Amino acid sequence: MSEDRGSSVTLGGTLRDQRHRVVTQLRNHFSFASLLAILFLTFLDNTIASAVLTSVQAKLHAGVTQLQWVVGGYALAFASLMLICGSLGDNFGRKKIMLIGVGIFCAGSLVCTIAQSPTELIVGRVIMGIGAAGSEPSTLSMIRHIYPDRRRRARALGAWAAVSGLALAMGPVLGGILVGLWSWRAVFWFNFIFGLAVLLVASIALPESVNDVRRRLDGYGFILATLALSLATFATISGETMGYRSSTVLSLYAVAGLSFIIYFVVESRTAFPMLNVEWIKNRAFSGSAVVAFTSYFSIFSIFFFVALYLEIVSAIGPYTLALDFLPMLAGMVIASLFAGRWVGRVGSRVPMMTGCFLAGVGVLLTDYVISPTVGLNSLGWTMGLAGVGFGIIVVPVNATALISIPAANSGVAASTINTSRELGAVTGVAILGSIVNGQLTVNLTQRLIQIGVPSAFRQEIITAVITGSVNSRAAQESRVSSAAIKQIIKEVVNAAYAAFTHGLNLALTVSGMLLVASAGVSYFTGTAERASMVVDE
């Protein structure tokens, strides 16, 4: 009798343990899903704005420089605040800072939905970037708390990398569908509504996580880094209109450079640096940071400028834009899914080198086939190849950074790599935008002189091109003009498109060559050590 009673007690205990494990696993999966939703939301907005550019141009009369800030303002705020927000989460609660960040992101989305001018839209995008900086860093470090088991944690980190790539690639596709269904404002309504849903789910699903010992915040490092990044970006974009030899632009560059120098001096002497300068001496870590920077620098030549070109010059609609970007989406997703196992078998060197090379070749081939009449048949496979390369890059870059730095610092290392990515996005939009905008004005001026357009009308035409109103104004003039005037208008529009194409060709060539060069960097800095991307204390 007593043996039967003992057996029933043991059986009951076993059932309770099994039930507890199942409930724990479900809770962990629910928590992890909410983290992935936050990650998806913040990374999606790096590229989803590419689908609204021409619509914003037409409705809000925004120039190319203002469109650069619509994209770059988000990435700049994201990059500048990511490390400090990661430290705030460590000290005061990762869930708390994450939820505050999602709330700010939603507020910025709401500002964008009601924006009546380019300036208001840019302000909203910067607010969204601040929110993204608060919510994204802890998505990686909290995985360690949700999945203590190393094997499950490795799978979760693979899913993290795949979702980040998926979000980037889905931006133009989802954005194009939303714009086609309604207008550019639909993109930001989606952000607002989806953000609120994520905020609600995360507040219920996520456990709080905070370090036992608080580290002093690196306020000086934060101020100096933000000042340097902001001034350098502002100078690069402002130089398009003010001239890169103007005293204002040169002064901004000088102050930015001095701020960077002081930043590294301060970081090398402070007890709790935002970025440990000693890590820069680590070849593998520095190499992964460089590749993270160059890959995002180059990827925005497609997400920003190719999208803008297709919408303005090829005159495609939002649905066609979404269709044209589908091969790139498929390439990034498929490649990121198998890249994790590849890195686990052979280390990061070969996959990272291969990804950079394929992405570079894809960008250069996209440059080769791009034309006003380009379609999915010719553009799809080149962008798909670039997508495969970019999808491969994501995993080994993270893996190299995480295995090259002591495990206790892996969360900060991952945030540093993400910061490098966002800096690449900001710099790519600024520098490549300067190339495109410069060619759009200089090259167009030369072409207008060649076809005999008087100087009094040249600036008016250039302004119409930059603000995206050249087509509508040309159509209005053609309805009431003679055959000779119509021919001149046609030549002016063709000259504008040719100037845009020339600028785009230069931007894509720079991006493609930079990626091919990054393949060499990967060879010398990558590692053959097998990596599981495990984040530990």
Look up residue 284 and give its amino acid.
Answer: A
CA distance 275 to 413: 9
CATH assignment, 20-217+272-444+497-525: 1.20.1250.20
CA distance 159 to 283: 27
Q: Using one digit for the tens of pLDDT, what is the confidence trace for 515-533? A: 999 999 888 876 655 554 4
Other CB atoms within a 10 A radius of the CB of residue 260 amount to 17
What is the signed CA dihedral for 512, 499, 170, 516, rounded to 10 degrees? 0
**Selected residue with higher pLDDT from 214 and 201:** 201
Residue extents of the structural domains in the chain: 20-217+272-444+497-525
Q: Place 114 in a pLDDT band, splitting at 50, 70 and 90.
A: very high
Burial state string for 51-86 with b = 16 or more CB within 10 A and e = fewer than 16: bbbbbbbbbbebbbbbbbbbbbbbbbbbbbbbbbbb
Q: Place 238 in a pLDDT band, splitting at 50, 70 and 90.
A: confident
CA distance 46 to 41: 9
Q: What is the mean pLDDT of residues 366-370?
A: 91
Distance of CA 116 to the CA centre of its chain: 25
Residues in the chain: 537
Q: Using one digit for the tens of pLDDT, what is the confidence trace for 6-50? A: 555 565 557 666 666 766 677 878 888 899 999 999 888 888 887
In a 10 Å sphere around its CB, with 0-12 CB exposed, 13-18 middle and 19+ buried, how is residue 22 labelled? exposed
pTM for the whole structure: 0.79
Two structure tokens written together for 310: 């297709």
Residues 485, 491, 497: CA angle, nearest 5 degrees:
140
Distance of CA 314 to the CA centre of its chain: 25
Look up residue 148 and give its amino acid.
Answer: P
User: Average pLDDT of the chain?
Assistant: 80
In a 10 Å sphere around its CB, with 0-12 CB exposed, 13-18 middle and 19+ buried, how is residue 196 labelled? middle
